[in-house]
Amino acid sequence: MTLAEQFTALDDFLFSTRQYWQCTAFDYDELPWPTLEPILAALTDEQVAELDSDQDALYRFFTPYITGLENLAGLCTLVTAQVKRTEYPFWLSNGIKGRKFEQLQDFVAALGEQTKPVLEWCAGKGHLGRMLAFNQAPSVHSIELQQHLCDQGQHSAQQQGLAMRFSQADVLKDDVSNHFTQQQHAVALHACGALHQSFMQQACNAQTKQISLSPCCYHLFTDDVYIAMSERAKRSELKLRHRDLKLALQETVTAPSRVAKVRKTEVEWRLGFDAMRKAITGSTSYVSVPSVNKAVFSDSFKAFCAWAAEKKSLELPQDIDYEYFLQKGKIRKKVTERIELVRHVFRRAIEVWLVLDRALYLQQQGYQVTVKTFCEKQLTPRNILIQAHLPL
Ligand SMILES: C[S@@+](CC[C@H](N)C(=O)[O-])C[C@H]1O[C@@H](n2cnc3c(N)ncnc32)[C@H](O)[C@@H]1O
């Protein structure tokens, strides 16, 4: 299957199933799909959590109930980069945490041999750039917003005798187009949303020979309504919004049990307060309350409601039945989790759709493009690598 065919098949499937994922769980007091209600209601909270942490099990569980789902795993499967990690001396990996270092090792290995000067986009401290410089890249030019990260990166590179320089810039405001050249390998690892989109556009404008990127946080620095990059995706009937793009990032990372417990209380209390607010004001839609120090959730529900009411300029009557609304919150949490579970069936599909939009855009600009996974999901769920080169 070509990338365009894969995109079209995913696009059709996502469009025909949008009632299952293009929604906001907090908006509902009850499950919105009568056909799924019995199987969702029969799941224990533990079963919900188990299914949520195993994407293949999730596909299998819902396949009898959602038309076309049997093909989804195949449509989301990408080639795995065959990588052999290079070993690095200890001084190079100093200051890079374990999983991040393994992720970088796999990314560098998947990029293959370095023959061109590298432009490293949104580099942070330039860990990636240093590894590429160590791996024979003739030179590395790293662009980064935060001056102190540029300084630290430059200091490390100098100490380690690596051919690397930094430029501080806000790539969304400053004109950095002159940093892109033809004879270059432009690399962006986990540059968020508009940061990697602008990277791709500028690299294409400069006819940069080689482009490699692993996108992330597709919604950041962009308008709420998604603007497709490729002509093919522009013709799609899907209209994606931030809420949908965030779904692409919702792979479960198993939180330590204490964190998970606080999170459970937080969701129950927020939903309980929301039910209270609706009862008092007569409003029917969910209104979020700002995030707050987690210590609040080891106090009482009543105290949380007092805090939240103040934030929302809401006067709470004296005779509120807190226990009633707390129970409401607990029931709504169950509903919310089951709606999220159904939405999560589609999270990787949305991400692959977004990645293919980027890949097709690069093809449209004359590049030969491959899309692979470069590391295990456990190292990072944002493990997709788009590689593009201009044919000679
Ligand atoms: C998620 S980190 C990725 C860092 C590095 N590429 C990596 O994978 O380890 C994103 C980096 O982008 C930088 N950044 C954010 N907005 C930026 C902007 N407008 N211009 C340049 N860099 C930016 C941040 O400071 C941060 O260092």
CA distance 338 to 345: 11
Q: Is residue 189 in contact with ligand 1, taking CB distance under 6 Å?
A: yes
Ligand 1 atom 12: residue of nearest CA: 122
Tell me, yes or no, whether 209 and 226 share the same domain. yes
pLDDT value at position 371? Answer: 98
Of 313, 295, 318, the residue nearest 304 (C-alpha):
295
The residues, ordered by sequence, that sit 6+ positions from 271 with a Cβ below 8 Å of its Cβ are 26, 328, 329, 332, 333, 336
Three-class SS of residue 193?
Answer: helix
Based on the domain organization, do 179 and 132 belong to the same domain? yes
Query: Residues of the chain with pLDDT > 90: what percent?
Result: 89
Using pLDDT thresholds of 50, 70 and 90, give the confidence band for residue 255.
Answer: low
Lowest mean pLDDT among 38-42, 65-69, 79-83, 347-351: 79-83
207 dihedral zone (left: phi>0; alpha: psi -120 to 50; beta): left
Ligand 1 pocket: which of 144, 173, 189, 221 to mutate (most atoms within 8 A of CB): 144
Ligand 1 centroid vs 123 CA: distance in angstroms? Answer: 6
d(Cα 142, Cα 179) in Å, to the nearest integer? 10
Cβ of 10 closer than 6 Å to ligand 1, yes or no, is no
Return the structure tokens found at 74. Answer: 């195949």
**In this model, does residue 313 exceed pLDDT 80?**
yes
Together in a domain, 225 and 184: yes
**Nearby residues of 247 by Cβ (< 8 Å), 6 or more positions away:** 21, 343, 344, 346, 347, 350
> Does the pLDDT value for residue 251 go beyond 90?
no
CATH number at residue 129: 3.40.50.150
Expressed in angstroms and rounded, the spacing between residue 148 Cα and the centre of ligand 1 is 12
Q: Are both 309 and 365 inside the same structural domain? A: no
Residues 296 and 368 in one domain: no
For residue 192, report the distance from its CA to the centre of ligand 1, in Å. 8
CA separation for the pair 255, 294 (Å, rounded):
15
Q: Measured from the CB, is residue 172 less than 6 Å from ligand 1?
A: yes
Task: Return the pLDDT at 121.
Answer: 98
Pairing of strands 118-121, 368-373: unpaired
Confidence of residue 256 (pLDDT cuts 50, 70, 90): low
Averaged confidence pLDDT in the chain: 95
Together in a domain, 339 and 218: no
In the predicted model, is pLDDT for residue 253 greater than 60?
no
Whether 129 and 259 share a structural domain: no
Q: Are strands 118-121 and 164-168 parallel, antiparallel or unpaired?
A: unpaired
- The secondary structure of 338-366, three-state, reads HHHHHHHCCHHHHHHHHHHHHHHHHHHCC
Q: How many angstroms is it from 362 CA to the middle of ligand 1? A: 22
Q: Is the CB of 193 under 6 A from ligand 1?
A: no
Shared domain for 89 and 183, answered yes or no, is: yes
**268 to 45, 273, 297, 391: CA distances (angstroms):** 14, 9, 10, 55
End-to-end CA distance of the chain: 25
Give the residue ranges of DSSP H helices in the chain: 3-16, 18-21, 37-41, 45-52, 55-62, 72-76, 90-93, 98-111, 127-134, 147-159, 193-205, 231-234, 242-247, 257-281, 301-311, 322-344, 347-364
Mean pLDDT over residues 31-57, rounded? 95
Is the Cβ atom of 331 under 6 angstroms away from ligand 1?
Answer: no
Per residue in 353-369, pLDDT tens?
A: 999 999 999 999 999 99
pLDDT at 286 exceeding the cut of 90: no
From atom 21 of ligand 1, which residue's Cα is the shortest distance away?
A: 145
Chain segment 110-150, per-residue pLDDT in tens: 999 999 999 999 999 999 999 999 999 999 999 999 999 99
Q: Which atom of ligand 1 is nearest to the CA of 149?
A: 27
Nearest CA to ligand 1 atom 27: 124
Ligand 1 atom at minimal distance to the Cα of residue 125: 27
Q: Which atom of ligand 1 is nearest to the CA of 217?
A: 1
Structural domain boundaries enclosing 229: 79-250+347-389
Residue 254 confidence (pLDDT) above 60: no
105 lies in the same domain as 169: yes
CA 261 to centroid of chain Cα atoms: 24
**CA distances (Å), origin 307, targets 127, 172, 238, 289:** 42, 37, 39, 10
CA-closest residue to ligand 1 atom 19: 170
Q: What is the total count of domains within the chain? A: 2
Same-domain status, 317 and 183: no
**One-letter amino acid of 340:** E
124 C-beta closer than 6 A to ligand 1: yes
Q: If you measure from the C-alpha of residue 247 to the centroid of ligand 1, how many angstroms do you get, rounded to a whole number?
A: 21
45 close to ligand 1 (CB < 6 Angstrom): no
The CA 12 to ligand 1 mean position distance, Å, reads: 34
| 47 and 164 belong to one structural domain | no
Residues 94 and 195 in one domain: yes
User: What is the pTM (predicted TM-score) of this model?
Assistant: 0.94
For 206-241, write each residue's pLDDT tens digit: 999 999 999 999 999 999 999 999 999 999 999 999
Over residues 296-311, the pLDDT tens digits come to 999 999 999 999 999 9
- Find the angle CA(147)-CA(222)-CA(122) to the nearest 5 degrees: 25
What digits encode the pLDDT tens for the residues 270-280?
999 999 999 99
